[in-house]
A and B are shown apart, each in its own frame.
Chain A
Amino acid sequence: MILLAFLAQTLRIAIPYLLAAAGGVMSERAGLIALTLEGYMLGGAFCAVAATYASGSPLVGVLAALAGGGVLALLYAVSAIRFRADQVVVGIAINLLAIGLTRFLLRLFFDSSSNSPRVAGFTVQGSGTGFGALAQNPIVWLGFLVIPAAAWLLYRTPFGLRVRAVGEHPAAAASVGVPVARVRYLAVLVSGMLAGLGGAYLALDQHQFTDGMTAGRGFIALAATIFGRWDPVRAGLACLLFAAAETLQIQLQGSTAIPSQFVEMIPYALTIVALAGVVGRAVAPAALGKTTIE
């Protein structure tokens, strides 16, 4: 029973990571640094709540979250690709924009600086936190499917081949007729929509939007992307690992054996270890961060 509860909670925590990390893999494999996942998630979470509040239907909320994450992603793509702006700077600006805009709109729509009113979600009230409640939520199913779907897209379709090509060697891709910019726009758009969906899951799971509610989850997804060496399946496993650590921390709360702050560090520390190459070096796509040369 305890094991089942542990698994259910791990999955519950992992769903937004899985969605955002799948987006992170798509974006980075196309050569665009996914610092923006946090911003997409926050924007998606807010759009989901605002649209659910206005329409009463969480399904509309999900569509709005896809749109919200997508719009932020397009802004990032246009700045980095069309205007050749530095990806890191723009990425940080997009995150700040998402924080500022959601706070401003929270005041504008709901006259609050902390949280929105309660909205409907997918899970029926009182169905608990076990597998039954999870199964009622369509975003959970999408979260399960997103990793195999991303792997299939990346390794088994012409589009995936093009994504990998523009991320490794854009000049070579361009020379054989791949529309480099268009592929990159699409990959970033997909990443924004997936991360936005992750944000929608968070917000609808809690039935409200709270200021800064993503709380660094986008960066954990980025950590999973890198720790998973830019491969969807490995990134998905990294998400599950990070979520399991978090669950363990929650379940151990009160016991003083391991301070919670040290459990919080696990994803970030593992990512640094992976980058430093102590055990099997993580090597990034060759053209990651370089949208200036086409």
Chain B
Amino acid sequence: MSATDPTMARVGGDTPAPAATSADSDRALRRAKIEEAVLPPLVALLLAAVVGDVLILSFGQSPGAVYRLLLEGTWGNAYGFGQVLYKATTLVFTGLAVGLGLRAGLFNIGAESQLAAGGFCAALVGLLLPAGIPALLCLPIYILAAALGGGAVGAVPGVLKARFGAHEVIVTIMLNFIVLALLNYLTSTRLHVPDTLHTPEIGSGALPRISDVAPSFQGSAANATILLAVLAAFAFGWFLFRTRRGFELRAVGLQPHAAEYAGVHVGGVTWRALAISGAIAGIGGLNYVLGYKHYYEEGFATGAGFLGIAVALVGRSHPIGICLAALLFATLSQGGLAVNALVPKQMVDVLQAVVILAVATSVPEVRQMLRGARRSAER
């Protein structure tokens, strides 16, 4: 039961067209890659716009006015943009988490519970640390706690896959429910503030918000976790493309049997990839816990895991693509709130689903189209 379409994990998996010089073929290959990466999202956005039109018209509003409001409410003012950045920060982490799995040929659907576990562990550590420690001093501890929390959740499907061959898609889905129920139990019976579903506030490690530096962002939750997200994206790219471990991981994703024959320990790569993937998602929990509310709250991670899959898919598991895709999906999420006065904000839930569906269905089509075009150009 191999659920992972290899085409998703293999960005560079197609053979380059033979060309006169290697520089020529390099350039052609790069152009082909960019075309393959850019076309499906464009198709998807076009389709989403059409579906959006239908939904907006069904509500008796003018699409132009709604889309204008959507842009004004997201990129048009500092508050809206700050909210987009805040939402994108979480999505960069879950997107990188899913993306790393895909590069190893593994589908991590558990990013939601890994994110929640990371946030929970950070909040837990925060309750244990004495109040008032400077952020820079305790930040590494928080990051470690969040990474361990998410990483532990991610390691379970990794070990079960490596040791028993249990399929990671099903295990991560089932584990989502188990971990969220466990966190619910711990929060609601042990740690919550009476009459709420959140833990007490933590007294240290609060990260500065953008609005501390630029007052026009007042009220938006965007905070210094953005820097962590950018750092994580850089580390992701460096690990995958510049280290031996990263090379092994991609080799397993492209062709596990060949990798094994070349001496790579596939089982080890598998469980490590899922553990690291979970750790990345876990660190994303800091965006909420340290950057926004300063406590763990039930349901803060809801939906971020599935959107992380969308982000990794649209961003083609590439760090830059993931950051851009995270901005796109964050814009849609925040845009829904901006247009809620005209059309139900639930419209964007539909549009997000349409984008995923359209990208997933057009990637194989576009690839084949481009291949056909390249072949006929060679003749």
Query: Hey, which bits of chain A sit against chain B, CB under 8 A?
Result: 33, 35, 75, 79, 83-90, 92-97, 99-101, 103-104, 106-108, 113, 216, 219, 222-223, 226, 259, 261-262, 264-265, 268-269, 271-272, 275-277, 281, 284-286, 288-290, 292
Q: Knowing A108-B59, A275-B166 touch, does A85 contact B363 (C-beta < 8 A)?
A: yes
Q: Does A100 contact B3, Cβ atoms closer than 8 Å?
A: no
Binding site for A on B (CB under 8 A): 1-5, 7-8, 55, 58-59, 107, 109, 160, 163-167, 169-171, 173-175, 177-178, 181-182, 184-185, 189, 306, 309-310, 313, 344, 346-354, 356-357, 360-365
Q: Chain A interface mostly helix, strand, loop or mixed?
A: helix
Q: Give every chain A residue within 8 A of B309 (Cβ-Cβ).
A: 89, 92
- Shortest Cβ distance from A68 into chain B, in angstroms? 15
Q: Judge whether B185 and A92 touch: CB under 8 Å.
A: no
A262 CA to B59 CA in the complex, in Å?
Answer: 43
Of A83, A113, A226, A275, which is in contact with the most chain B CB atoms at under 10 Å from its CB? Answer: A275
Minimum CB distance partner of B177 in chain A? A268
Question: B174 near A272 (CB under 8 angstroms)?
Answer: yes
User: Closest CB of chain A to B312's CB: distance in Å?
Assistant: 10
- Give A30 Cβ to nearest chain B Cβ, in Å: 13
**Is there contact, CB below 8 Å, between B346 and A89?**
no
- Supposing A79-B357, A268-B175, A276-B166 touch, asked if A288 and B344 sit within 8 A by C-beta, the answer is no
Cross-chain contact of A259 among B4, B171, B189 (Cβ < 8 A): B189
A35 to B357, CA, bound (A): 14
Q: How far is the CA of A281 from the CA of B347 in the complex (A)?
A: 43
- Which residue of B55, B166, B185 is within 8 Å of A272 (Cβ)? B166
B349–A100 touching, CB < 8 Å:
yes
Which chain B residue lies CB-closest to A285?
A: B1
Majority secondary structure of chain B interface residues (helix, strand, loop or mixed): helix
Q: Tell me the bound Cα distance from A76 to B365 in angstroms.
A: 16
Q: Is the CB of A226 within 8 A of B170?
A: yes
Whose C-beta in chain A lies nearest to the C-beta of B349?
A: A100
A265 pairs with B181, CB closer than 8 A: yes
Q: Contacts of A276 on B, CB cut-off 8 Å? A: 160, 163-164, 166
B367 to chain A minimum Cβ distance, whole angstroms, is 10
Nearest CB in chain B to that of A82: its residue: B361
A residues near B174, Cβ cutoff 8 Å: 219, 223, 268-269, 271-272
Contact check, B347 vs A85: say whether CB atoms are below 8 A apart: no
Q: Are A79 and B361 in contact (CB under 8 A)?
A: yes
Do B313 and A89 touch across chains, with their CB atoms under 8 A apart? yes
* Contact (Cβ within 8 A) A104 B347: yes
A271 to B361, CA, bound (A): 30
A86 lies within 8 A of B4 (CB): yes
Q: A113 to B181, alpha carbons, bound, how many Å?
A: 25
**How many angstroms from the CA of A100 to the CA of B306 in the assembled complex?**
13
Candidates B164, B181, B184, B362; contact of A275 at CB < 8 Å: B164
Q: Is B185 in contact with A259, judged by CB distance below 8 angstroms? A: yes
| A103: B residues at CB distance < 8 A | 344, 346, 349
Contact for A89 among B170, B173, B348, B360, CB less than 8 A: B360
Known: A106-B346, A219-B173, A219-B177. 13 other contacts (CB 8 A): A83-B361, A85-B5, A93-B310, A96-B356, A97-B354, A97-B357, A99-B349, A103-B344, A103-B349, A104-B344, A104-B350, A272-B175, A277-B166
